Amino acid sequence: MKYKTSTKQTVLFKISFLLLTISAGIAPTFAQSTDEMTEELKSVLKTSRKNQEKACREQKPDVKRTYSFRDTSKQHPYDDFGRRIPPEGLAAAYGPPPRYAWLRKLMPFWSAPVDKYAITIHSFKDYAARDVPVNETKKSNKFRTNFEKKLEEEATRKTVLQKFDWRDPEHELVFSPVTFQGWFCNNCWAFATVEAMQISRQLVAMRVKNYKIEKTSLFTPSPRQTGLCMAEKNKDEPEKSCEFNWHGEAFSFIVDEGMPLDGRSDYSFFNAGYKMECDAETFVKALTWDYVSSNPHRVASPEEIKRALIMYGPIVTTLVFDNCLNLYGGGIFNEEQNWNTGSSGQKSLKPGNHIVLIVGWDDSKGAWLVKNSYGEEWGEKGYAWIKYETNNIGQFSAWILADPNEKLIFREKPDLPK
């Protein structure tokens, strides 16, 4: 499918987005650096930061905060194509408003789909609480069970370690650079699933000594292409690739259809001459995937996550995106935004609305080490320490297992714009 926008649509979108960000207290800026910003713009950014901090402080966690705020006023230069890059980390979890967004003013009781996340999402209905991993064949079941038996001793030995980090040189894994998912694309799920798959491919290659896999697992595929190819498979418009999605659905797509290894990864919707489409030529399938817990509704225990982390590599998990996560600048994030309280006083778990990758732990901190997709200026160079179980981290956590005998799948490349 082709996705085109007229000049009028582009202008209307940019005006709408500007009004949306101002109303939310998030100031878009187009200055090349803080030195070149006008005093007026600096004032707007300062006010924006104060508004964010005010909303965060009003959250009032039950415990003393053990982390610091970051500086959200930093600006970024132009990229190689002459486009101005927006500040990283500002409301990055949310993309453009849908076409029907204006109706919410008329019907305030109408909740956006993202607000119902993890409650009505169809993927969970299809995939949760199965006895075996989704779509697992007899062949993959045999490999997985033998794989787990061989790693049982290692998992038992390493899960009692005080700290563990898959990025440590001893593991010889290559992580992709921390990137920024952008203002316009709500695809944290794609960044986390693609990275989990790539690290699994490296781990499996080393464990079975299949170095053909390892060679093709050291470069970074495009999360954008994963979303676009999923949209194409579902016969959706390309813009659907930037809507909130579910890592389980992405994992199933990688098992069934394959993860795209190439294709255009441009993040601008409105660049003249560019089309939003799945144009990847090379794909690779995973063997299988599953949730960490047999009851993924609940927050998996640290012990369960540690074992899966050692067995399979980095774990994809949901996380409650609250008023403070965007401001995280370092330390141990501990907002404890875990429960909703109904009018009758009954409590229910808050649904996660952001997806990150767990890559390690530190018991002395009592926290998971996670990789985010908000750019390097968020947190500790794009990573964060999230206290065990805070903001329901670990709910719907899942792993993916690469195929030890993977074969590259090639498809004919579609016609590209001239």
Domain count along the chain: 1
User: Could you give the CA distance from residue 323 to residue 353 in angstroms, rounded to a whole number?
Assistant: 12
Name the residue among 382, 332, 338 with its Cα closest to residue 356: 382
Span 302-355, pLDDT tens digits: 999 999 999 999 999 999 999 899 899 999 999 999 998 888 888 888 988 899
Q: Domain holding 135: CATH number?
A: 3.90.70.10
Q: Which domain holds residue 38?
A: 1-418
Give me the count of residues in the chain: 418
User: Could you give the CA distance from residue 165 to residue 154 in angstroms, rounded to a whole number?
Assistant: 15
> CA–CA distance from 289 to each of 44, 118, 133, 151, 236 (Å)?
46, 18, 6, 17, 24
pTM of the model: 0.76
User: Could you give the CA distance from residue 305 to residue 310 in angstroms, rounded to a whole number?
Assistant: 9
- Tokens 């009851």 map to which residue? 295
Question: Residue 362: what pLDDT?
Answer: 98
- Tokens 């700290």 map to which residue? 163
Phi, psi at residue 373, to the nearest 5°? -125, 40
Question: Residue 189: what pLDDT?
Answer: 93
Span 260-285, pLDDT tens digits: 998 876 554 433 345 678 888 899 99
User: Could you give the CA distance from residue 72 to residue 21 in angstroms, rounded to a whole number?
Assistant: 14
User: Could you give the CA distance from residue 154 to residue 206 in angstroms, rounded to a whole number?
Assistant: 15
User: Could you give the CA distance from residue 335 to residue 67 in angstroms, rounded to a whole number?
Assistant: 10
Span 47-94, pLDDT tens digits: 666 787 788 888 878 789 999 988 766 544 434 333 334 444 333 332
Q: Cα angle at 83 between 81 and 86, to 5 degrees? A: 135
**Count of other CB atoms within 10 angstroms of residue 188:** 28
